[in-house]
Structures are given as C-alpha cells and as structure tokens.
A and B are shown apart, each in its own frame.
Chain A
C-alpha cells in the first residue's frame, strides 16, 4: 500500500540554523499538508499546498517557514532560523483531491529538536 514517507526521522539542530524537512507524498495525490505536534500537545495544522502554491496557512506558519515542491515528488518544509519552540514532531500528509470521502494520509513524522 502506498505510504507517505518523511526524512529524516530525527533531526537535532542549533538555534538559529536552517532546517529542511522532506516528505514524499503518495504519488497520485495533489494536496499536501504540514502539521506539527509539540511534545504533549495536540497536532496543529501549519500549511496546505496545491498546484505549487500555498492554499491555506495557520497563524503558526509565519515568515520563518516556507514550503516547496521542488521536483514533482518531494514536498519540503523549511524553517529559516530555528527557535527553541520549533522543537516538535512534524507530520506531512497528502490526499488525492478535495472531493467528498477524501482522506489525509500521514507520514511517520520527523522529530525536530532545537538546542
């Protein structure tokens, strides 16, 4: 069964450094999402992406964040200058379309630790 994959599984970085989290959505999916889960808290929506542009973003997704689909298969989340509070599990998700019965399939996550 097709899966969403994410790399790396864990990343440790120093505050102020840039990080890029990578996701490979399911191949025939057109809508892509990033969510994050700070330890012990709920999963929070960051951004959705369709047709090479952001379709919606939350207030968390500020100018330090950006997303890109550089090559038709990868979907990346970049944090330009990491802060301690960016430490979280980051989940990528994808779905086929926006019709009824659509489901978001989640990747296993990347655990980011900012020191």
Chain B
C-alpha cells in the first residue's frame, strides 16, 4: 500500500544545533516529494519540493532535503536551528496520475530549547 511515514512524532533540539527530520515513503513509482511546515494556528507553508533532477533540494528558511531513491526517503535537514523553527513539519507525496492529491505523513513536532 502507498504510505508516507514520519517515524518521529516529537523531536527536541537545542537552538543552534543541527536538525534532521525523517520521511520514508512506499510507492511503486518515484513520487513528487514535499515538506510543509505548520506553525501553531497557521496554515501549511511549503518549505521545499522534489520533482526530478538534483537529489539535494534547497528550500526556504535554510532548510534542505535529500532524496535517496535506494532508501525511499526524503529527510529534511537544517544545519543550525532557530527558536522560530519550532513547528509541526509534514512530509507529503504526490503522484502525477492522481492529480497531485497529496498524501501527508503524520507530522513531526519540533521543539527548540534555549
């Protein structure tokens, strides 16, 4: 079955530390991959996306993600976390043959400590 898995429900990091949020997918074909961020009470903001080409994708707010086909993963990284990065992060996949309806993971809640 097609699925998107974010193994970590909660992650706590210290401000200034590096961050990696995991995302694994299970699809027959290579899907289109996205990371969205949701701040409390806010909507979903696109951080970055992968469609094809270079497997290392740069996004907004200093985030990047690397698509690893052999591991079916698309992990989100940031070298130095800021307190304002505390939010809920969602990995999502879309398929061109489904009108790009997005299938979201359950999300990872990021807490940043001083």
Least Cβ distance of B108 to chain A in Å?
11
- Which of A45, A100, A103, A108 sits near B101, CB closer than 8 Å? A45
Q: Chain B's interface: helix, strand, loop or mixed, by majority? A: mixed
Q: How far is the CA of A107 from the CA of B46 in the complex (A)?
A: 11
Q: Interface size class for chain B?
A: 20 to 34
Instruction: Assess whether A95 is interfacial by the CB under 8 Å rule.
Output: yes
Stretch in B11-19, B21-29, B92-100 touching the partner: B92-100
CB–CB A106/B101 < 8 A: no
Interface: A31 (CB within 8 A): yes
Q: Which residue of A lies closest to B104 (CB)?
A: A43
Q: How many A residues touch B, CB cutoff 8 Å?
A: 26
Q: Can you name the residue of chain B whose Cβ is closest to the Cβ of A43? A: B104
Q: Which residues of B contact A102 (CB under 8 A)?
A: 100
Q: Check A104 against B51 for contact (C-beta < 8 Å).
A: no
Q: Is B114 part of the binding interface, using a Cβ–Cβ cutoff of 8 Å?
A: no
Residue of B49, B51, B98, B104 touching A44 (CB-CB under 8 A): B104
Residue of B nearest to A58 (CB): B101
Interface string of B86-114 (1 = CB under 8 A from A): 00001010101011111111110000000
Which of A45, A50, A55, A100 touches B102 (beta carbons < 8 Å)? A45
Q: How distant is the Cα of A44 from the Cα of B43 in the complex, in angstroms? A: 14
A43 touching B42, Cβ below 8 Å = no
Question: A55's contact among B49, B94, B99, by CB below 8 Å, is which?
Answer: B99
The answer to whether A104 and B99 have CB atoms under 8 Å apart is no
Q: Which residues of A contact B30 (CB under 8 A)?
A: none
